[in-house]
Amino acid sequence: MKLNVAPEPRPRSRSWLLLLIGVCAGIAVALGLVVFVGMPFALGHRNDLPLERLYGNVAVSIVARTQAGSQTNPLSQNARVLETGRNAYTGSCAECHGVSGDGKSAFGQLLYPPATDLRANDTQEKTDAQLFWIIKNGLSFTGMPAFGGQYDDQGLWALVSYTRSLGREARQAIRPVAVPTASAGQLARADPNGDAVQRGAAVYFAQACHECHGPVGNAPGDLGLRPGEREAANAIRQGRRGMPAYDQQQLTDAQLSDMLQYLNTFSGRRG
């Protein structure tokens, strides 16, 4: 006579373990597909995916709030601070964010995502500490570089002050600077394989010095340049109010020497 013996039930802990392993394996496969299949296609697209812009704004807000702290701008909103910030903005930021901060510059709308409108509420509602953190550290995958290695904290706070002045309520606090653009002939003078002056011109334009000082030092006001080798060399290496410092990694001694030769060709007449 045969007895029907019921199979022993599988231990519940083993079932949960198998389920956990399956979930982890599924997550690993999904991440692999995202990294090796999705990301290459994502890097190539130039249009917003569903909710992508919203997700990006939320991500920026979260990282700025969690990393920035609560420090307020230690520099008062006076004309000198705004002028320092404007000069720094003209040379380092206007190329993407535009002279007025609207993001509609020659390159701003060609970036993906497009350069931010600094006058908009998304920017102006951020705290001083959040703006400072973003300018200092930059934002990955947005085209926003980090300026902490070029400007000291005082220069960064001046940029925060000027960014505030671009807001709708304070837009007329200080007028933007209109820097002369380089002509084809001036650009043609730059030749990395030419003589010292031509090599210096190539370095000058490659470092975007013309965006702030004009193609031949002919920017208006304090942004204009006059020949003066020792003073110029110190300013380039150490920085000045509203001007970043350029160390050996950014500008070698040979490149600096060539650029000084180019600066010595300037007439000293400001635009």
Give tens-digit pLDDT for 222-231. 888 877 667 8
> What would the two tokens of residue 257 be?
């020497």
- Are 195 and 172 in contact, with CB atoms under 8 Å apart? no
Q: How many CB atoms lie within 10 A of CB 260?
A: 21
Q: Which of the 8 DSSP states describes residue 91?
A: H
- Are 91 and 211 in contact, with CB atoms under 8 Å apart? yes
Rounded to whole angstroms, the Cα distance separating 155 from 135 reads: 11
> What would the two tokens of residue 5 be?
């013996």
**pTM score of the predicted model:** 0.69
Structure confidence by residue, pLDDT tens digits, 96-118: 898 889 988 878 887 878 888 99
- Are 99 and 93 in contact, with CB atoms under 8 Å apart? no
Structure confidence by residue, pLDDT tens digits, 149-159: 888 999 999 99
Q: Which pLDDT score, from 0 to 100, does residue 41 have? A: 62
Rounded to whole angstroms, the Cα distance separating 148 from 155 reads: 9
Asked whether the predicted pLDDT for residue 91 surpasses 90, the reply is no
Q: Which of the 8 DSSP states describes residue 240?
A: B
Query: Domains of the chain (ranges plus CATH)?
Result: 61-165 (1.10.760.10), 184-263 (1.10.760)
